[in-house]
Structure 1
Amino acid sequence: MELLFKQRTGDSKNTEKSIIAYFNGKNKPQISTKIKVKPSNFLNQKVVKIYDKHRINALLDRMRLLFKEEQLEYKRKGLPLDKAVLTRVVNEALGITEVKEGEIKLYTEYVPLYMKRLDKMKNNSGEIGLTKQTQKTYKSNINCYNRYEKWRVENGYSPMSLQYGTIEDMEAYQDYLEDEMEYSADTINKRIGMVVAVSRHAKKRKHKVSEDITEYDVPSKQPRKREDIVFLSNEEVELITTPIEDLPDYLLNTQRIVILQIATGQRISDTMNYTSSTFTENEGEITGRIRQQKTNREISIPIVGERAVGIVKTGLFRAISHQKYNDYIKELGKRAGINTITKSKMVVDKRLKEVETEKYKLITSHTFRRTALSLCFLAGIPEYHILNISGHSRVNMLYRYLGRDEGGEQRTKELREMMLKAFE
């Protein structure tokens, strides 16, 4: 008896399908591994022809090994294998573990226990049970924090400890919400408030919880002072995307990411998730279908730049941490000659200061997203198309993000001129 894998059947060969784990016993129990690939990328029990194949195949091999260990243990005890074995094997390989309340050390370990108690909590009227809408809001806030923890680990930091969490941990989450997710001040207030609420709930249940978390001051709804918005001109975009001689491999890979981020105008957290299945080709035209983490919407963006098309057709890129990306793009900008002396506000030693420096030092992952959206704006692409690309829900939010005409004076002037012509 051995652990085997297959895919769910379906008509479309271009749609990703779950890989199913099962063993060839009497009843053939099966369970989804939560891993999805296209049928053309799953052959002979292995994933092939995609960038992530090595990681996924390692997970499948890990499941096979764990299954053999469970099989030996059950044989020793004289017990038949069942679906519970499959569930345990898949969850352990994926890092999903059931934590007992007395063993909780991390904030994320307490969250599942907190979620199980939503139906037993008191609402504002003092009655037992929260409304479905309130529970939905709680789940949304917690899903956001889980994405942050994933981002945190990818950037070389350990998960936040429930007992030893610090003010710096909370400030780092606030920075993530502001800079990576681009949330409004009101949304940031709610997201941070949820972490504080969950931690206080854990403290009431006699868990050891850091006061730096439970007593953290939820940020006011006024946005903090920000660094100046930095854009690249068309000429600078050409410089940083043109092939550069003698680039080391890590900067060649970084340049490929830059080209696709400019081509799609997405946040770097979404860009790093691109896979071969993100892009489809029909009659020579390539389209990116991208699931935005912040809005949870799938958008379609045509890929039109020659360099971007070439990257899609030649295997995309190796995903790297956001911290490395922000470091590498400055080095890439320096090699590309983006060295115009620029005045700007930037954070130095945790303080916002006016500086005068080479422009490449001011480049961040947001620079390319803002540049892409700004170039669309200047090219006269209608606002509703740009909103679809950016994920902003309102025009004034888009304008604020681009640092353009926040008060609407220019739009009012343009409308006045058009109305004068219309009613002459």
Structure 2
Amino acid sequence: MIQIKRNLIRSIEKRKKEGILISENVPIRLRINYHGNRVDLQTGYRIDIAKWNSDKEKVKNGAFNKRGQSSSDINSGISDLEIVIEDLFKSCEVEERIPTPQEIKTIVKNYKTKGVSGLQEKNEITLFEVFDLFVKINKKLNDWSEATISKLLTVKRHLHTFNPELKFSDMNQEGLADYLIFLRTEKLMRNSTIKKQLGFLKWFLRWSNENNHHQNEDYKIFKPKLKDAPKTIIFLTEEEKKKIIEVYIPESKQYLHRVRDILILLCYTGLRYSDIYNLKRSDIKENHIDTTTIKTCDNLIIEFNKYSKAVIQKYKDIPYENEKALPVISNQKMNDYIKELGELAEINTPTRQTYYVGNKRYNEDKPKYELLGTHVGRRTFICTALSIGIPVQVVMKWTGHSDYKSMKPYIDIADETKKSEMNKFNLL
């Protein structure tokens, strides 16, 4: 996912009449600067210059304009407009593209046409406005990551595509079933993906119900049966790790050296990509890493082994921005480059992925390198640790897992690995 730097500036338009600055009933403008572009938008609101706070970029408390709109109505209306624009940018970041100025103008025009910006009075808050509120409030309360926000904005986008006029009353048993079919037939989603989408939707419907935005509780009893295959855990075997460590990297692909180092560190610490990305020099101690995880806020102490220590030592004297300990690139690029590294190392064992779309089962065989990403490091660490006999409770202290249920798939893999290793005696 890319990050688009932008800033939104509210200001009063400076207009003159016969050489004299107009000071009453002046339009409020919203200017967006991003990626070398400047877009000026009319908010649809006006205010006297004397009633405008330039420092805070808002109408002064208690002020009214000529149409009788209060400062709270105007400031809130402009904030709503900014949320719509931010949603567009965040969606574009997920899609890894830069929105055009015309695209911004069009989405703002469509938003105004619906009468939710302040050009018309709002009679009732809509489902999509409540969704914006849901994201805005919980982002502040729970310090949501950009990844969580992006996932929720994707949910909102799917709902809007399904029905731009969607209401809470539409989310009954029939409506939810129609939405499920839409995700399957229009968005071509697998059952596993649909489960996640419905989980996010139910989360929003539960929150909005608890906060008295609707009384429709059909979501509580909507439990469709979606077939799903057991999740395949992709990890690197000892032989595959050796291949990656020893593979020759050509001069034209020198960037893969750092990618390999970070992958090795993931494989020998069990940390998530987000924790490696945010690792600070202050987290590095003499014999261990002492860090608080981004996802779960767990404090972890992970002792060094010779592989993890070697990577840390390699970069210890190289300065990076924000006191970061390592040269970690974006997750998307990292995933792409790990696949490239895996192909170079000939990690090409045919690997089967099984999934369901509706009741139809699909089997998809791919070379293993196509399935590699940053996630493979943590999974490799767990599988390796269990297979060499490290007690599961010790592994859980390193990884931050809180229950055995989440560790069971790894334990099953470790058991299978031990069986295959024992069979080697039969070849003697």
Q: TM-score, normalised by structure 2?
A: 0.50
Please, which runs of 5 or more residues in structure 1 have no aligned partner?
1-54, 116-138, 179-187, 207-212, 411-424
Q: Does 1:383 align with 2:392?
A: yes
- Once the two structures are superposed, what CA deviation does each residue of 1:120-154 show, in whole Å capped at 9, x if it has no partner? xxxxxxxxxxxxxxxxxxx87x969x84333577x
SS at match of 1:232: coil
2:149 matched residue in structure 1: 149
Going from structure 1 to structure 2, the CA distance change for 1:398 and 1:78 (only over 3 Å counts) comes to closer
> How many angstroms apart in 2 are the aligned matches of 1:389 and 1:219?
37
1:319 aligns with 2:329: yes
Shift of the 79–333 alpha-carbon distance from structure 1 to 2, 3 Å rule, reads closer
User: Cα–Cα, structure 1 residues 387 and 189, in superposed 2: closer, same or farther, change >3 Å?
Assistant: farther
Alpha-carbon distance change, 360 to 80 in structure 1, aligned in 2, over 3 angstroms: closer
1:232 aligned residue: 236
CA distance in 2, matches of 1:355, 1:175: 16
Shift of 1:361: 3.3
Letter in 1 for 2:157: M
Give the letter for the 1:148 counterpart. T
Q: 1:277 aligns with which of 260, 277, 280?
A: 280
SS in structure 2 opposite 1:231?
coil
The letter of the residue matching 2:370 is K
Distance 1:348 1:396, change over 3 A: closer
Q: Does 1:296 align with 2:297?
A: yes
Matched residue SS, 2:401: coil
- TM-score, length of structure 1 as denominator length: 0.50
- Structure 2 counterpart of 1:262: 267
Of 327, 344, 350, 1:335 maps to 344
Distance 1:234 1:75, change over 3 A: farther
- RMSD (CA atoms): 5.5
In 2, Cα distance between the equivalents of 1:405 and 1:236? 16
Q: Give 1:399's match in structure 2, choosing from 408, 411, 427.
A: 408
Residue of structure 1 equivalent to 2:50: 77
Asked whether the equivalents of residues 278 and 288 of structure 1 are also in contact (C-alpha less than 8 Å), the reply is no
Aligned residue type for 2:230: R
Instruction: Write the letter of the residue equivalent to 1:231.
Output: F
Q: Which amino acid aligns with 2:344?
A: R
Of 308, 314, 326, 1:310 maps to 314
Q: Secondary structure at the match of 2:160?
A: coil
**Contact kept in structure 2, 1:193 and 1:218, CA below 8 Å:** no
Cα distance change on mapping 1:320 and 1:391 into 2, 3 Å: same
Change (3 A) 1:321 1:112: closer
Alignment of 1:111-260 (within 5 A): 111=134, 147-150=147-150, 160=157, 162-165=159-162, 167=180, 168=183, 175=193, 193-197=202-206, 217-218=222-223, 224-242=228-246, 244-246=249-251, 248=253, 251-252=256-257, 254-260=259-265
> Closer, same or farther in 2 for the Cα pair 1:335/1:321, shift >3 Å?
same
What is the CA-CA distance between 1:374 and the residue it aligns to? 1.6
Indicate how the Cα distance of structure 1 residues 175 and 80 shifts in structure 2: closer, same or farther if over 3 A, else same. closer
Cα distance in 2 for partners of 1:152, 1:113 equals 11
Letter aligned with residue 277 of structure 1: K
Q: CA distance change for structure 1 residues 325 and 394 in 2, over 3 Å: closer, same or farther?
A: same
**Deviation for aligned residue 1:388:** 2.1
CA 1:326–1:82 in 2, change beyond 3 Å: closer, same or farther? closer
* 1:360 counterpart = 2:369: yes
Query: Would the aligned equivalents of 2:283 and 2:289 in 1 still touch at CA under 8 Å?
Result: yes
**CA-to-aligned-CA distance 1:288-308 (integer Å, 9 cap, x gap):** 413241x33232323442124
Change (3 A) 1:114 1:403: same
Compute the displacement of 1:364 (Å).
4.3
Percent of aligned positions that are identical: 18
Which of the pair has more CA radius of gyration? 2
How big is each residue's C-alpha offset from its partner over 1:12-56, in whole Å with a ceiling of 9 and x where there is no partner? xxxxxxxxxxxxxxxxxxxxxxxxxxxxxxxxxxxxxxxxxxx89
